[in-house]
Amino acid sequence: LNIIKKLFNAKKADHGGTLDPLATGVLPIAFGEATKVLSYIVSKKKQYEFTLKWGEQTDTDDSTGRIINTSENVPKKDDIQKKIKEYKGEIDQIPPIFSAIKLDGKRSYELARKGIEIKHNSRKVNIYDLDIISSLNETTKFNVVCSKGTYIRSLARDLGKSLNSEAHIIDLRRTFVGTFSIENAFSLDSLEKLSHTANIKDALFPIERALDDIPALKIDRNQANKLKFGQAIKVNSDLSKKEVKIFHENILIAIGHISDGLVKPIRVFNL
């Protein structure tokens, strides 16, 4: 984030969805007014490709940690295929102790590094899709589409135990977040090369890209001025009790909520 902030000479920047230290892949970054839509990005579905190693559990649930449990049992592909069906849909999941979750104002991983015993409560997450890509010897590679808040390291850990083995992640790659996919992503190296040309802005998407699944509403100048001052406006629209992205002359003015013919602004943009 700091590197990219300098490359774009941005005064304000933030990212959508922290990646594990081991992980690679898509990290949406927003500048200026676009930081106001990050909450819409991180709440979307995410897709990962991950490889787990059977027979070993680590304290971090990935290969950066120390081994704490072992098993000589390596599940067969057919058994793994049957078991992953149980993980599709809404499941209960306990986050790893090495995570960014806060406990009494401290990050969980900070406490874990000090050897303090941690117990997280389980949480509901959704696994929309989970498939085997390949399975070879002591490793299996998966593709998963999941909801916000899902820990893939926890998924690997739980898969291991439910198949009478142990497991941890050795490779993790995020391939999309909402409408932002790996095919559209730029590596740090490619951005640094672009920064030496006049084409670095080619790496930017318009702010509304993060709001692709929200209906659009067009308004006039007078209505736009009212919204910018936080005032509700009357509209004639078939949309009801919905969030909408609001435009005046193709410029995004706000995100609002429609109810009973009134639009109340939720987020106002100064573009």
DSSP codes of every residue in 139-163:
EEEEEEEE-TT--HHHHHHHHHHHT
Number of other CB atoms surrounding residue 111 within 10 Å = 17
3-state secondary structure of 32: helix
CA nearest to 165, candidates 143, 141, 140 = 140
CA nearest to 55, candidates 157, 151, 135, 124 = 157
3-state secondary structure of 61: coil
CB contact at 8 A, 28 and 38: yes
CB contact at 8 A, 69 and 57: yes
Known catalytic residue at 238: no
Helices (H) and strands (E) in the chain, counts: 7, 18
Exactly one of 20, 61, 62, 158 is catalytic; which is it?
Answer: 20
For residue 166, give both structure tokens: 């142990």
The amino acid occupying position 80 is: I
CA nearest to 152, candidates 30, 16, 25 = 25
**Beta strand pairing call for 167-177 and 24-25:** parallel
Compute the distance between CA of residue 56 and CA of residue 151 in angstroms, rounded to an integer: 18
CB contact at 8 A, 233 and 263: yes
Q: Quick one: how far is CA 139 from the chain centroid?
A: 25
As annotated, the active-site residues are 20
